[in-house]
Each structure stands twice: as structure tokens, then as C-alpha cells.
Amino acid sequence: MQSPSSSSLRAAALLVAAVIPTISLAASETFLNGQSIYGQPGAVSGASRVVDVAQATRLNVAYGETVVFRGDAGQQFAWTFNGLDRRAVELAKIAPAGFAAKSTVAYIGRDPANRR
């Protein structure tokens, strides 16, 4: 027969074992298929606007919008915001390596396909 304390310890261990994978998935910035929750790299030619990161510290983007971000040294990249809606993302998280993103934050608008 098990003592009440060993049963409690076993239940706590099972709870921890069940919760840890859930927490790691919630903190991840990628979907299970490896795609970013913020969207994907876009084509510069398909961008709706160009943002100079030296001038902008924050900007609102529409869900599905493709934006070109231009850095100080003439470097640039395009991003399509079609991941999860209603999120804020620091540009440094989506910018390619070597891009000086500073502290610019993009606020992604609501996906019109969502009814929530």
C-alpha cells in the first residue's frame, strides 16, 4: 500500500510531465512545421510600402501585408505578415542575420478571416 505522500508526489510528477511540453510549445515562435508565427519572407517587388528602420520605432501592419524594411547601410528585406494575427513582433526576430533592426516593433492587425 502506498502512503498518501508518495501518491501526491506521483501525481505532481505526472502533472509536471504533462505541463512542460505544453509550455515549450506556447513559448515557441514557430509552428510545428517550422514556419514563423509572424509570417514569412516576402518578395520585395510585392511590397505595399517601404519602411526605413532608422526613422520608425513602431508601425502598424495589416494582416497579409508585405513590407520592405530598409536599414542604414542600404540593406533591405521584405516580410509578409500572414502568420498569427493581433501580435507584436520585434523586427530583430524576423530580420535576416546582419540586418541592424534596432528596436523597431511591428503590430500585426486582425486577420479578416477570423471571427473572434
What is the residue-level pLDDT of the chain in tens, covering all 116 positions?
556 666 776 766 665 566 555 444 456 899 999 999 999 999 999 999 999 999 999 999 999 999 999 998 889 999 999 999 999 999 999 999 999 888 899 999 999 998 77
CATH topology of domain 40-108: Immunoglobulin-like (2.60.40)
Longest CA–CA span in the chain (Å) reads: 72
Give the phi and the psi of residue 62 in degrees, each rounded to 5: -80, 150
pTM of the predicted protein model = 0.75
- DSSP result, 48-84: SEEEETTT-SEEEE-TT-EEEEE-TTS-EEEEE--SS
